[in-house]
Amino acid sequence: MDTSIIGIGIALGLPFFILYTRKEKWQNPKIVWIICSVLLSIGVIGIINTDPQFKSDRMTYFGLCLPIVYWFFDRFFKRISERLHQRDFILYLKNSDEINSSLGAKNPHVKASDILFSIALLIIIMGSLVVIMTQII
């Protein structure tokens, strides 16, 4: 069985889930830090103990390390936005509850930094996965 699918699923799925639900009342940042830290610990231990020729296993463990990279940048962008606008940044992505994404909709409450942070987080999620995949393959 190819276990790299599990790593890719975690590397993409968890950051997107956290991204789209980060302002929900039930999501506690401390719990997300703990989850990401546990996944990072498992990933690092797995990378250290896995033979380099088992590339699919290494891909799985690298995938476990990626959610903390996303979460670090999410928190970093939140702090910058709080200093600039005295609020958390607005997620400017389709199907986000924070914007009107219908055809021709105006979103005057969205600043350029909100758009920049949203796009940067997408690039970080996808880019970190691509970098890891190119390093392993």
Burial environment of residue 16 by CB neighbours within 10 A (0 to 12, 13 to 18, 19 or more): middle
pLDDT of residue 2: 72
Cα–Cα distance measured from residue 103 to residue 75, given in angstroms and rounded to the nearest whole number:
31
Number of domains in the chain: 1
Burial environment of residue 125 by CB neighbours within 10 A (0 to 12, 13 to 18, 19 or more): buried
Task: Please tell me the pTM assigned to this model.
Answer: 0.84
Give the tokens for residue 49.
Answer: 């103990």
Residue 137's pLDDT band (cuts 50, 70, 90): low
Q: How far apart, in Å, are the Cα atoms of 137 and each of 65, 87, 122? A: 17, 41, 23
> Cβ atoms within 10 A of the Cβ of 135, count?
10
- pLDDT digit string (tens) for 34-79? 999 999 999 999 989 988 788 778 888 888 998 999 999 999 999 9
pLDDT of residue 80: 94
Domain membership of residue 57 as a residue range: 4-136
Residue 100's pLDDT band (cuts 50, 70, 90): low
Q: When comparing pLDDT for 2 and 54, which is higher?
A: 54
